[in-house]
Amino acid sequence: MDTRRGDIFSITLAGLSASLVHVNVTIEHDQFGTFELAGLDEDSWELTRRRVATAIYNTLKRNDLEIAVEITPTGTNNHGGQLDLAIAVAVLLAFEQKSLPSTVVLGELSRSGEVQHVRGILPALKAASTSHAIRHAIIPRADAAEAAHAGLDVRVVDHLRDVLDSLRGSHVLDPAGPRRSTRSYERDLAEKPFMMASVRRALEIAAAGQHPLLIIGGAGRTSAALKLPALLPSMTADEAIEVTSIYSIAGLLEAERGLLGSRPIRLPNYRDATLEKFLGRDDPACPGGVRPGEVSLAHGGVLFLDELLEFRRSDLAALAVALAKGESSGFPARPLLVGASCACPCGFRGDEGIRPCTCTRTEIQRHERRLRAVFDRYFDMQVVLPSVFDVAKPERSEVVRRRVAAARTARAAMAPESETGSEHALWSFAQKRGVLPSNWPKVLRVARTIAALADISGVRAPGKRHVYEAIQFS
Ligand SMILES: [Zn+2]
């Protein structure tokens, strides 16, 4: 047997950015059979070599081949086994003396040769699709739904033998079909419990201006937050791909779901909140070796922190830094921040109809001071939840969402703050109503959003009535 050569492309990820990897294989006849693997980093080399060599043996049934695999760039990692299938396919191509031009291959192999789910298929293929060199992809069938959105000709396989059979012409690989996704995670405003008008208004303004919102009260804090994602404008195709990619890398994408259709909401609990959970951490199971944090899993949607005062101050400060940067551990991180807290330590202040508050006056004052400090640092708006719900059915979220989308456009078209010239009059108006200089910038920000929501009447700058309403949320 002459020396035979084969090669194929695969992809590795670091955060959401992808790099092409080239797999080169040389096969010669050797009565003892060997499998050499070069170019992988030390962490993944030995397990990959054993797994892939066994899968190839179980598929080709040949133990008289001297196989040498070389991966470039050298030092490439194989987190989650995403390169397994590419290595095996390059061997089959060499053995069969075939080629698969313009193709990337991704998938983990079991030792028996089954092709298994890998994380990060969508961001990997999406990146590959921007390269003129890549037109086709071969991936695990388990990942067909998300791959269908990548803009490549994608074929799916169950077993390494499927690839061998297709190279020999006895099998045609199935295409990955597109799937529709739903908005199932969202709660509609017109679903019970109906929020009171003041709360719905706060949610609408927060959504329109991307204003961090603090919700204070007893019952209904979480149900208020759960109604926010559906009030944000529907995701564009690019946004949906970005958000789905983050979930794919975290291994949180359900197999049957293709592109995520609704904006995410994350509700990390203070009891298991660590800085790493917030900001991302090393995780060899994730492509690129880093698992996105809650701040990135909430990207494009809502990050909801209930019982806000229970979170460590240093964690909140680090979270605020990530939010200001819009990035964490290599992943985008621009969620709408929503915090919530009871109005007192025992939790029943304002809900006295359920059970009387047992806190002392001093305890309540201390609680309020702490809440005020957190509000001043991290939030634009706050709203107190009434202890009752509305009896009348409110507008559907879709109606409010349209208003929010229009307001975002109007707000973006407004003159910059320093050019409006009317700010001094507004500031003295606000000052007379008890607004402190330190809080004025956020009151003005919120007032601009309120003016944008009223833009139907052609409002182009905030006026006193907008400032007046903004003060109610400060
Ligand atoms: Zn209390």
pLDDT, one tens digit per residue, over 375-412 is 999 999 999 998 788 888 899 998 999 899 989 988 88
From ligand 1's centre to the CA of 310, what distance in Å?
16
Rounded to the nearest angstrom, the distance between the alpha carbon of 158 and the centre of ligand 1 is 59
**CA 358 to centroid of ligand 1, rounded, Å:** 5
Query: Per residue in 118-147, pLDDT tens?
Result: 999 999 999 998 887 889 999 999 888 888
Assess contact for 210 and 407: CB atoms under 8 A: no
Q: Rounded to the nearest whole angstrom, what is the distance from the C-alpha of residue 24 to the centroid of ligand 1? A: 68
Ligand 1: distance of its center to the CA of 278 in Å?
Answer: 29
Kindly tell me if the per-residue pLDDT of 254 is higher than 80: no
Q: How confident is the model at residue 26 (pLDDT cuts 50, 70, 90)?
A: very high
44 CA distance to ligand 1 middle (Å): 55
Counting every residue, how long is the chain?
Answer: 474
Spell 457-473 as b/e; 16+ CB within 10 A means b: eebebbbeebbbbbbeb
Mean pLDDT of 70-81: 92
Q: Which segments of 58-114 are extended strands (E)?
A: 65-72, 103-105, 108-109
Q: What is the pLDDT of residue 457?
A: 60
pLDDT for residue 180: 44
CB 364 within 8 A of CB 245: no
**pLDDT at position 151 over 60:** yes
% of the chain residues with pLDDT over 90: 64
Contacts by residues 143-146 (CB-CB < 8 Å, ≥ 24 positions apart): 143/117, 143/118, 143/255, 144/176, 144/177, 145/176, 145/179, 145/255, 145/256, 145/257, 145/258, 146/121, 146/122, 146/244, 146/248, 146/253, 146/257, 146/258, 146/259
Which pLDDT value is given to residue 271?
84
User: Mean pLDDT, to the nearest integer, of 214-228?
Assistant: 90
Instruction: Tell me what the pLDDT averaged over the chain comes to.
Output: 90
Q: How far is the CA of 218 from the centre of ligand 1 (A)?
A: 10
> CA-CA distance, 281 to 291, in Å (whole number)?
5
Going from the Cα of 372 to the center of ligand 1, the distance in angstroms, rounded, reads 17
**Which uninterrupted H or E stretch holds 414?**
none
pLDDT digits (tens, 9 = 90+) for 267-312: 998 888 889 999 999 998 888 899 999 999 999 999 999 999 999 9
pLDDT at 377: 94
Task: Count CB-CB contacts under 10 A for residue 256.
Answer: 10
Q: Are 4 and 26 within 8 A, CB to CB?
A: yes
Averaged pLDDT for residues 362-368: 95
CA 343 to ligand 1 centroid distance, Å: 7
Structure tokens at 224: 């208020």
User: Which residue in 159, 125, 163 sits closest to 142, CA to CA?
Assistant: 159
Strand 281-282 relative to strand 290-291, pairing: antiparallel
Tell me what pLDDT residue 420 has.
59
Give Cβ neighbours of residue 424 (< 8 Å, ≥ 6 apart). Answer: none
Tell me the C-alpha distance between 118 and 120, whole Å. 7
Centre of ligand 1 to C-alpha 360, Å, is 8
Q: What's the pLDDT score for residue 375?
A: 96
Q: What is the average per-residue pLDDT within 40-68?
A: 92
**Residue listed under structure tokens 């397994």:** 84
CA of 364 to the centre of ligand 1 (A): 7
Ligand 1 centroid to residue 347 C-alpha, Å: 5
More confident residue, 214 or 175: 214
Predicted local distance difference test score (pLDDT) of residue 67: 96
- Cα(351) to centroid(ligand 1), Å: 9
**pLDDT given at position 1:** 79
Q: Over the stretch 169-198, which tens digit does the pLDDT of each residue have?
A: 878 888 886 554 444 456 889 888 888 999
**How many angstroms does the Cα of residue 22 sit away from the middle of ligand 1?**
63
* Domains in the chain, CATH or no CATH each: 4-175 (3.30.230.10), 197-412 (3.40.50.300), 414-474 (no CATH)
In terms of pLDDT, which residue wins out, 252 or 303? 303
If DSSP codes are grouped into helix, strand and coil, which group holds residue 66?
A: strand
pLDDT recorded at residue 389: 82
382 residue type, one letter: Q
Distance 219 CA to ligand 1 centre (A): 14
pLDDT in tens, 76-104: 999 889 999 999 999 999 999 999 999 99
